[in-house]
């Protein structure tokens, strides 16, 4: 069976999305497993770096002999998924890792990006945060294969179960009979994590048996191709001497209101084309 690729995102948390305990449940599958959290990077030109420390939040997982944690700063990528994440997936699979967890910063376009590179997309939600409505606005519920409401413990448990019921209703309205399961879990106590992980594994096994997994991965390869074309074109654009020569003046004119962004973009593209 191919390597299991699972992605996770949480609109409520601007950082790697999976509850810390849930990552360790992956180790109950045939080892080894790897986690590839994508952490937001600072935009300070003088000191671009990843915010906080990923491994300090995964202290037990990082030292497990059956796991490998590869933090990937997003380097300013708006989608919240590092550009080299796909390459990292291929690399760790070639190294023999059977389970790959890709976590996102949980903002903006990250859900779409991660859904296009994994077998199963897990959406993590929190009670009383407006995630239900926020998720519908972003269309994230249309992408999720499994939904789990975290922090279903102590005084938060009733709220978590209520949120799960509301999300179940939203899923049925959006996706009808194909609506995914909405579960509850607690990263603090570990309750429900076995059910979440078993649901992910069962879904992937079903996709594999009916041929959908192979189809999904082939389409992802096509998406990957165009993503690399986009990245290479952008790199060539920024590396063009002709573009660099006119960029400072164009940026000044845009800032001062002397030129619209549309006209500035047209001039940049024209300079790039003429330099080729």
**C-alpha–C-alpha distance, residues 97 and 22, integer Å:** 17
Q: What is the DSSP letter of 56?
A: G
Q: Is 11 exposed, middle or buried (0-12, 13-18, 19+ CB in 10 A)?
A: buried
Q: Is 190 exposed, middle or buried (0-12, 13-18, 19+ CB in 10 A)?
A: middle
**C-alpha–C-alpha distance, residues 50 and 179, integer Å:** 36
Place of tokens 């590396």: 239
Asked whether residue 44 carries a pLDDT value surpassing 50, the answer given is no
Q: Kindly state the average pLDDT of the residues 137-165.
A: 86
Token pair for 132: 């239900």
C-alpha distances in Å from residue 242, one per residue of 102, 230, 252, 262, 269: 38, 20, 17, 18, 10
> Global pTM?
0.75
Q: What is the rounded average pLDDT for all residues in the chain?
A: 78
pLDDT tens digits for 161-200?
998 998 898 888 888 888 899 999 998 888 999 999 999 9
* The pLDDT value given to residue 106: 59
* The pLDDT value given to residue 101: 84
Instruction: Label residue 219 by pLDDT band (50, 70, 90).
Output: very high
Which of the listed ranges 14-18, 77-81, 94-98, 121-125 does the model predict with the highest average pLDDT?
121-125
* The pLDDT value given to residue 1: 47
Token pair for 120: 């199963």
Handedness of CA 187, 168, 214, 218 (dihedral sign): negative
pLDDT tens digits for 56-113?
666 677 777 777 777 766 555 544 465 677 888 888 888 888 888 887 765 555 667 7
* The pLDDT value given to residue 42: 43
Asked whether residue 256 carries a pLDDT value surpassing 90, the answer given is yes
Asked whether residue 201 carries a pLDDT value surpassing 60, the answer given is yes
Q: Angle at which helices 131-138 and 157-175 pack, to 10 degrees? A: 30
> CB under 8 Å to 129, separation ≥6 — which residues?
12
Of 16 and 123, which is predicted with more confidence? Answer: 123
Q: What are phi and psi of 192, to 5 degrees?
A: 85, -10
Instruction: Label residue 267 by pLDDT band (50, 70, 90).
Output: very high
Q: What is the DSSP letter of 175?
A: H
Domains and their CATH numbers in the chain? 4-223 (3.40.50.300), 240-275 (no CATH)
């Amino acid at each position: 069976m191919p390597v299991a690729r699972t992605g996770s995102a949480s609109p409520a948390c601007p950082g790697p999305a999976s509850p810390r305990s849930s990552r360790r449940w992956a180790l109950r599958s045939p080892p080894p497993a790897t986690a590839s959290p994508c952490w937001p990077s600072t935009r300070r030109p003088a000191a671009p770096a990843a915010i906080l420390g990923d491994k300090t939040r995964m202290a037990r997982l990082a030292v497990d002999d059956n796991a490998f944690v590869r933090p990937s700063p997003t380097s300013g990528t708006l989608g919240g998924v590092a550009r080299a994440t796909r390459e990292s997936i291929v690399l760790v699979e070639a190294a023999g890792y059977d389970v790959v967890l890709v976590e996102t910063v949980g903002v903006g376009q990250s859900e779409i990006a991660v859904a296009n590179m994994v077998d199963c997309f897990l959406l993590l939600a929190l009670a009383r945060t407006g995630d239900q409505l926020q998720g519908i606005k972003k269309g994230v519920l249309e992408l999720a294969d499994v939904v789990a409401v975290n922090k279903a413990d102590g005084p938060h448990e009733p709220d978590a179960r209520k949120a799960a019921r509301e999300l179940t209703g939203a899923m049925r309205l959006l996706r009808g009979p194909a609506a995914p399961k909405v579960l509850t879990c607690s990263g603090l106590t570990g309750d429900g994590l076995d059910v979440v992980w078993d649901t992910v594994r069962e879904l992937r096994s079903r996709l594999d048996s009916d041929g959908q997994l192979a189809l999904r991965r082939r389409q992802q390869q096509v998406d990957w191709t165009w993503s690399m074309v986009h990245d290479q074109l952008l790199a060539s654009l920024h590396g063009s001497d002709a573009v660099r020569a006119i960029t400072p003046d164009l940026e000044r004119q845009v800032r001062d209101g002397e030129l619209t962004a549309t006209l500035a973009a047209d001039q940049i593209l024209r300079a790039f084309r003429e330099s080729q």
